[in-house]
Amino acid sequence: MERSLVLIKPDAMERGLGGIIIGRLQQQGLKLLAMKMLHMDKGLAERHYAIHKDKPFFNSLVEYITSTPIIACVFEAEGAIDLIRQVMGATDPARAETGTVRADFGLDIQRNATHASDSVENAHKEIELFFTADEIFDC
Ligand code: CMP
Nearest to 26 by CA among 42, 6, 10: 6
pLDDT at residue 139 is higher than 80: no
What are 114-130's pLDDT values in tens digits? Answer: 999 999 999 999 999 99
Residues with a catalytic annotation lie at 115
Structural domain count, the chain: 1
pLDDT at residue 26 is higher than 80: yes
What are 29-80's pLDDT values in tens digits? Answer: 999 999 999 999 999 999 999 999 999 999 999 999 999 999 999 999 999 9
Residue type present at position 20: I
What is the value of pTM for the model shown? 0.97
| Strand intervals (E) in 39-110 | 70-77
> From the CA of 61, how far away is ligand 1's center (Å)?
7
Containing structural domain, residue 75: 2-132
Q: Mutation test of ligand 1: which of 65, 112, 118 has the most ligand atoms closer than 8 Å to its C-beta?
A: 112
Residue 117 lies in a domain: yes
Task: Say which CATH number the domain at 122 has.
Answer: 3.30.70.141
What are 91-120's pLDDT values in tens digits? Answer: 999 999 999 999 999 999 999 999 999 999
